[in-house]
Amino acid sequence: MTADAHMNTKSAAMAASPAIEVRGMSLAIEGRSILHDVTFSLDRGEFLCICGPNGAGKTMLLKAILGLGKPTLGSVTLFGANPGEGRKKIGYVPQRKNFDRMFPARVVEVIAAHLSGAWPLMVTSAARDKAAAALRIVGGEHLLDKELRDLSGGELQRAFLARALVADPEMLVLDEPMAGVDAKGIVDITSLLDGLTKQRRMTVVMITHSLSVVEHCATKVLFMENGTVMAWGNPAQILHDPRIRETAFTGHDHEHAVTSGKGEY
């Protein structure tokens, strides 16, 4: 087989592979077991909600998928490649946005910095156009020149969603995106994310405590406790279990649907 033929075969195999494949993955930190024998596979274009109580290992699972935590046992692949290579196709929205609220950063600069990998001394017209286009997708084009410190919780999430989308990723990964967002913002962001999977065939992976998000968006649900996958399947199967509903969701929708103009960031 020629080198070109080998590359074509490899590319075809990667294109046909699942978006995420986790097989028998365990992870320990300083001798403490965090994840235990996690196995699941997610097809492209699906919407996965990862649910469970606090301390269940949800964020660490995301880090392992992104290649930010090395499994002790088992394997993780993204789009048929190792996580380090596969995460180039991912847009990531963290739960906590690490920035100084007093630093006069504008939304356009935050998005442009993600494009270039460095803070821009000057935003080029091309970068500005791309930032505006990404904000248009999330219904936030009016935020382009606003400073982050002036944004509400929902506006901040739109800005960081645009930041994650500006490089045209194949997968969007979000850690508790509804935290600090008011009730209307939750509805708007839920509709937006649902549209990304249905209209753009984008794969979405989200950690959430929001029952409404799971009911309206998820095509697959992974429920975790104590670092172990306790349930995996479609929402109807998972939500049928009253214990899961009680453990993963009770009280959390109220906590996240804050009514103040600005939520916790």
Q: Where are the domains of the chain?
A: 3-258
List per-residue pLDDT tens for the chain, 265 residues long: 555 544 444 444 455 789 999 999 999 988 899 999 999 999 999 999 999 998 899 999 999 999 988 899 999 999 999 998 998 899 998 876 656 666 788 999 999 998 888 888 789 999 999 999 999 999 899 999 999 889 888 888 899 999 999 999 999 999 988 777 778 878 888 888 888 888 888 999 999 988 888 998 999 999 999 999 999 999 998 988 888 888 888 655 433 433 333 332 2
Question: What is the homologous superfamily of the domain 3-258 according to CATH?
Answer: P-loop containing nucleotide triphosphate hydrolases (3.40.50.300)
Size of the chain in residues: 265
Q: How far apart are CA 195 and CA 130, in angstroms?
A: 20
